[in-house]
Structure 1
Amino acid sequence: MRRFLLVAPVAVLLSAVAVLLATEYVVARPSHRTKNVPYVASTAPDFDKERHVLDVYSPKKAAPQAAGYPVVLFIHGGSWTSGNKNIYSFIGRRLAKQGVVAVVINYRLAPAVHVPEQAADCARALAWTVQHIARYGGDPQRVFVMGHSAGGGLAALLATDDALLARNGLPQNPVRGAILDDPAGLDMYSYLKEMRYEGDAQYKVPFGHDPAVWKEMSAIYKIRPGIPPFLFYLGGETYPSISGSAGRFRDRLKAIGQAPTYTIIPGRHHIPMVLQLYWQHNIIYQGLLKFVGA
Structure 2
Amino acid sequence: MSRPGQSSRLLICCTALIVCQFVSQLSQAGVIRDKLMERRAQQSEMEEEEAATNGPRFKLPPGTRVLEDVAYGSDAKQKMDVYLPASAGDHSAVRLPVIFMVHGGAWAIGSKTHNKVVENKVARWLPKGFIFISINYRMLPQLLAREQAEDVARALAMAQSKAAEWGGDPDQFIIMGHSAGAHLISLLSTSPDMVAQFGVHPWLGSVSLDSAAYDIPAIMATKHYGFYDKAFGTDPAYWRRSSPLHALNTAGAPFLAVCSSKRPDHPCDQADYFVKRANAIGMRASVLPQARSHGDINQQLGLENSYTQAVEDFMASLSPAIRRHLE
TM-score by length of 1: 0.83
| Residues 1:39 and 2:67 are matched in the alignment | no
Q: Equivalent residue for 1:156?
A: 186
Instruction: Give 1:48's match in structure 2, choosing from 65, 75, 82.
Output: 75
Deviation at 1:10, TM superposition (A): 5.0
Runs of 5+ unmatched residues, structure 1: 16-20, 41-46
Q: Tell me whether 1:5 sits opposite 2:41 in the alignment.
A: yes
Q: Which one of the candidate residues 84, 87, 108 is aligned to 1:58?
A: 84
Select which of 242, 255, 267 maps to 1:217.
242
The Cα offsets for residues 204-228 of structure 1, whole Å up to 9 and x where unpaired, read as: 2121111111111111112234311
Measured on the aligned residues, the alpha-carbon RMSD in Å equals 2.7
The match for 2:168 among 138, 149, 152 is: 138
Change in CA separation of 1:7 and 1:256 when aligned onto 2, cut-off 3 Å:
farther
Q: How many residues align?
A: 275
Aligned equivalent of 1:232: 257
Map Cα deviations across residues 245-280 of structure 1 (whole Å, 9 max, x no partner): 1111111122223342322122x1111111112525
> Where does residue 127 of structure 2 map in the other structure?
97
Following TM superposition, by how much is the alpha carbon of 1:156 offset from its aligned partner in structure 2, in angstroms? Answer: 1.0
Describe the superposition over 1:60-81 as per-residue Cα deviations: whole angstroms up to 9, x where unpaired. Answer: 1258983511111111110001
Q: What are the superposed Cα offsets for residues 125-172 of structure 1, whole Å, 9 maximum, x if unpaired?
A: 0110110011112110111210111111101122221111222233xx
Report the identity percentage.
Answer: 28
Contact 1:63 1:69 in 2 (8 A): no
Question: Match of 2:156?
Answer: 126
Partner of 1:43: none
Determine if the alignment matches structure 1 residue 175 to structure 2 residue 218. Answer: no
Structure-1 separation of matches of 2:234 and 2:37: 23
Partner Cα separation in structure 2 for residue 69 and residue 126 of structure 1: 16
Q: What is the CA–CA distance in structure 1 between the aligned matches of 2:309 and 2:65, rounded to whole Å?
A: 19
Highest RCO, 1 vs 2 (Cα 8 Å, sep ≥ 6): 1
Matches of 1:59 and 1:143, distance apart in 2: 16
- CA change 1:140–1:189 in 2 (3 A) is same
Partner of 2:21: none
Q: How far 1:232 sits from its partner (Å)?
A: 2.2
- Aligned partner letter, 1:210: D
Q: Work out the CA distance in 2 between the residues paired with 1:176 and 1:6.
A: 32
Gaps of 5+ in 2: 1-35
Cα distance, 1:31 vs. partner?
A: 2.4
What SS does the corresponding residue of 1:116 show, helix, strand or coil?
helix
Q: 2:299 maps to which residue?
A: 275
CA apart distance, 1:89: 3.1
C-alpha change, 1:73 and 1:202, in structure 2 (3 Å) is same
Rounded to whole Å, the distance in 2 between the matches of 1:30 and 1:262 is 35
The 4+ residue runs of structure 1 with deviation greater than 4 A are 1-4, 9-15, 62-65
Letter paired with 1:60: A
Provide the residue aligned with 1:18 in structure 2. none
User: The residue matched to 1:277 in structure 2 has which SS?
Assistant: coil
In the superposition, relative to structure 1, how do residues 108 and 159 fare at CA in structure 2: closer, same or farther (>3 Å)?
Answer: same
Which amino acid counterpart does residue 68 of structure 2 have in structure 1? Answer: K
